[in-house]
Structure 1
Amino acid sequence: MRQLILFFACLVLGSLTGCASFKQPSEQEKHNVSEMTTDMRTWALGRGLIDLPASWTGGGDVKLYYGLGADHSSVEVCVLGEGVTQERFDAALNERARRIAAIKNDEMNDIPMLVSAWRETPHSATFQYFESTELPDTFMHESHLLIDDVYVMLRAQSYNGNTAPVEARLLKLSKEIFKVTAPQNAGAGFALGPIVIRSHHDQEIASFDFSPPASDVALNVYINALSPDDEERLHVRTKKDTQIFLVGDYENLRAGKITLADMQAEESLIGFSDDTHRQILFVSENYRDNPSLSRPAMSFRLSAGGRRSEPFDPDEPEDLVRWTLPEFANKGYELPLWQRPDRPPRAEPVNPSLTDYEAMAVWDAILKSVRIRYGAVAPKPDPWFNPRGPTREEAAENKRILDEFIASFSERKP
């Protein structure tokens, strides 16, 4: 009996010792976490929803695949800007056409790289240009859309001069994109920030980036609908990667199994340092046996420390052209080296602006908010279903026959 009492006493003492060694959060840390997690903004994220601190901003892009075989086709969809006026949209299209047309194809008698550009409506335009000078029959096709005040770009490739199917695909897809008024009401389709894509496609791969303004904190979300789960779980790969890149010199802040969007998942939260600064890296990924559009593979990465992003200048309009130009058109976009002003000295790396407690609290609040939207995946239409009803003439004739049939009963006498 004495040995049993001694055993339980050791357990209690051990638990008390463990609690004493855990660093309790300060009142300031609790206040900071409350500010970040009390009023969070809901974003439409692919087929799901996510809540982020209200001050965070970001966006992403998606690649849609039609067919899963070697002969598949794909379309990239990217949101270039929100709150875009008609004037800015027109100016961006003119600048884009000018920059691409200014480059000559030296393999084809110096004709412009821009093959065609036309405005279908005031809110839409189409570009076709050579993908490169080395491949004369490979073209890039772009559809630029102004959906309400959202600037959306669709981009796809055609090969061997077979341009008609790609143009038809972009035209159809351009009519299947709508602005989202409220993320919770996005309905069926893949949501990309302020828009939802109601296209019947077979695969979708997307990447989103979010961060606070002018901060060292960044959140990246990667979505791959049909990707099979990695054979090696996250905790195994973390050990391998840290041995290679960090030589095992890191702090294991937390690791284990969690639930992410009602699916099994793992997380790995580490911290590491060098001679100048400290960084933290939180990673989580889900696992599922039956990949589908409604059960996508999702990977979340939250980093803090290192380089701080540049502050946003509200007086400087967002660039709508340069960062999506083809590589050949981006050459010479900047001033010559001898005409450029001196660059400011590169900022020194910084320690995380969030404490470990703050980062883990925000991380937990974000991951717990991830959920799949109800009805986010609409069933594919039956290819054999014929929705065509009777013509107006057929309907009138059917009604006449029915009226005559009913009238025949009233004319009969007992």
Structure 2
Amino acid sequence: MTSLTRNMKTQCVGRILIDLPEGSKWKPKAKGGRVGDQYFSVTTGVSLDEFTAVLEERWAAILALKTSRGEVVTQPPHRFSSAPNSVIFSYNYRKHNLPDLNGQWANRIFHEAEGYIWLNGTMVTVPRNLNGRDETASLMKRMRARATDEIPADPGLCLDGAFIAGYYDPTEREEIMWSFSLPRNLGLVVQHTKVWGPLQSMLERRDDAAREIAGYVAKLLSEPGVVAGNKKYRAATRIGGVLEGEEFVMGGTQGINDHTFETNIGGLWEFPGRGFPSPLPNIELNMGTTFRTAEKPSSLGAFPKQEGNPDAPTEAEFFEIWDAVVSSVRVRPIAMAQPPQKELPPPKITREQAEADRKALDAFIAEGPGPDLSKPSTK
């Protein structure tokens, strides 16, 4: 262990926890996700005045929209709020005569909606979506501000500067993807997706893809002057925290011109996920770095010499950080809480059974013997 991994800091990303080297930062404007049918993106460092200016500029653009020829507009654009410092725009209301799933034709009203909310310097945007006014409003009611180092104690999704409260609902689609900048010019992408069963092995998928493009790659490499090659470092099962996944680490070098060579080193770790009733999301970690050198590396796909790349990691530094990050990934337990099960209504009983139950209760209250319910009524 060196100073690179001596002081790891826990980050809450979506529904998982992960430890990153000191100095790691969430990348601005490089993150987002999906809850249900609603996509969203996050921008940090936005003042309330800047947020207000964005809203007014967008509202003016909506009011200036022209309808398509022949469309029937049923109502003007609306703007409303479902939570503090939030605005939802619904517009482009139009009527179309269309069939339903049963082939029944009828006039149907469509609209477009988009939403914006400001959370103490963080702006969450739900982009334009069809007929999504109510869903956008409902999602924004679940959002609140979150400090970068806060580990919430209730179910939901951690965003950069924000939190979306909510159970891990089997009826709701969910996907989160966030990017981080790490020391030594490393980038990390953390992604998790709700699944209803484990995905196919990541290594098997890579092998299938490699076979499919093998002919194309061979043809490309045979072209005059082409310099390209790779080196495989790891491809095996790998435990991340307590989650059994798979890792794949490879380097690749390509000649840009006679005096410039680009080498990319990347590591991928994936947990396939697990379905209900004991669900876990599919989790993917992708870490990489890029070198540019004036000389061709002695081995294509190998880590180049440090000359000219003083801020880039050595091979030992890359794997020290990679191993520490992968070993730390775990699911935040409370985040996986599922919605409480609704109580089932009592079973319906026959009129005869209800009458017999009433007589038995009356007899019990009167401290007398109850009727023999095993015998059919003679009435």
TM-score bucket of the superposed structures, by smaller chain: 0.5 to 0.7
For 2:276 and 2:207, the matched residues in 1 are separated by 26
Query: Which of 26, 41, 49 is 1:57 aligned to?
Result: 26
Aligned-pair CA distance for 1:185: 3.0
Evaluate the alpha carbon distance shift between residue 290 and residue 217 of structure 1 in structure 2; reply closer, same or farther with a 3 A threshold. Answer: same
Q: 1:196-345 alignment to 2 at 5 Å?
A: 196-200=163-167, 201=169, 202-212=172-182, 217-231=186-200, 233-242=201-210, 244=213, 247=218, 249-275=229-255, 276-290=261-275, 294-305=279-290
Contact 1:46 1:191 in 2 (8 A): yes
Amino acid at match of 2:263: R
2:195–2:273 contact (8 Å) kept in structure 1: no
| Offset, 1:236 | 2.9
- In 2, the alpha carbon distance for the partners of 1:354 and 1:292 equals 42
Q: Which residue of 2 aligns with 1:117?
A: 79
State the one-letter code of the partner of 2:173.
Answer: Q
Q: Are 1:180 and 2:146 an aligned pair?
A: yes
2:324 pairs with 1:365: yes
What does 1:74-89 correspond to in 2, within 5 Å?
Answer: 74-79=37-42, 81-89=43-51
Q: Among residues 52, 55, 58, which one is paired with 1:96 in the alignment? A: 58
* Mapped contact 1:82–1:150 kept (Cα < 8 A): yes
Aligned to 2:360: none
What SS does the corresponding residue of 1:49 show, helix, strand or coil? strand
Label 1:293 to 1:51 Cα distance change in 2 as closer, same or farther (>3 A).
Answer: farther
Q: Show structure 1 runs of 5+ residues with no match.
A: 1-29, 66-73, 160-165, 308-349, 387-414
In structure 1, how many angstroms separate the alpha carbons of the residues matched to 2:291 and 2:92?
39
Query: What letter corresponds to residue 78 of structure 2 in structure 1?
Result: S
Let me know the Cα RMSD of the aligned residues: 3.7
Partner residue in 1 for 2:305: none
Q: Label 1:110 to 1:352 Cα distance change in 2 as closer, same or farther (>3 A).
A: farther
**2:57 aligned partner, one-letter code:** E
Is the 1:36–1:362 Cα contact (8 Å) retained in structure 2? yes
Alignment partners' CA distance in 2, 1:372 and 1:75: 23
**From 170, 184, 196, the counterpart of 2:136:** 170
> Structure 2 regions of 5+ residues with no counterpart?
99-107, 222-228, 256-260, 293-308, 346-379
* Aligned residue identity for 1:75: Q
Aligned length: 294
The answer to whether the Cα contact below 8 Å between 1:279 and 1:351 also exists between their aligned partners in 2 is: no
SS at structure 2 position matched to 1:273: strand
- Say whether the 8 Å CA contact 2:194–2:282 is kept in structure 1: yes
Which whole-Å deviations, capped at 9, do the CAs of 1:76-132 have from their partners, x for residues lacking one? 2332x2343221111111122234444433335798x98333456761111123499
1:255 deviates by 2.0
1:263 Cα offset (Å): 1.8
Q: Give the deviation of 1:212 after TM superposition.
A: 4.3
TM-aligned CA distance change 1:293 to 1:224, over 3 Å: farther
Closer, same or farther: CA 130–299 of 1 in aligned 2, 3 Å: farther
Q: CA deviation at 1:355?
A: 2.5
CA distance in 1, matches of 2:47, 2:35: 27
Residue number among 141, 162, 180 corresponding to 1:195 in the alignment: 162
User: Could you tell me whether the CA contact under 8 Å between 1:63 and 1:206 is conserved in 2?
Assistant: yes
Partner of residue 37, structure 1: 5
Cα pair distance change 1:250/1:83, threshold 3 Å: closer
Corresponding letter in the other structure for 1:360: F
The Cα of 1:219 is off from its aligned counterpart by 1.8
Query: 2:225 — aligned with what?
Result: none
How far apart, in 1, do the equivalents of 2:341 and 2:290 lie? 51
Aligned in 2, Cα 1:294/1:237: closer, same or farther, shift over 3 Å? closer
The structure-2 alpha-carbon separation of the partners of 1:190 and 1:121, relative to structure 1 and needing over 3 Å to count, comes to closer
Check 1:120–1:296 CA distance in 2 against 1; reply closer, same or farther (3 A cut). closer
Cα distance change, pair 120–271 in 1 and its aligned pair in 2 (3 A): closer
What is the CA deviation profile of residues 232-285 of structure 1, one whole-angstrom value per residue up to 9, with x for unaligned ones? x23333334445275594211122111124221110111111222211121111
Q: Equivalent residue for 1:15?
A: none
State whether structure 2 residue 109 is matched by structure 1 residue 147. no
Q: Cα gap change, 1:141/1:358 in structure 2, threshold over 3 Å: closer, same or farther?
A: same
For residues 23-54 of structure 1, give each alpha carbon's deviation from its aligned partner in whole angstroms, at most 9, with x where no partner exists: xxxxxxx7xxx343233332211111112232
More strand, by proportion: 2
SS of 1:185 mapped into structure 2 = coil
8 Å Cα contact 2:270-2:282 kept in structure 1? yes
**Structure 1 residues 355 and 99, CA gap change in structure 2 (3 angstroms):** farther
Render the CA deviation track for 1:197-242: whole Å, top value 9, x for unaligned.
12344331222222249x86322222111153333x2333333444
Higher helix share: 1
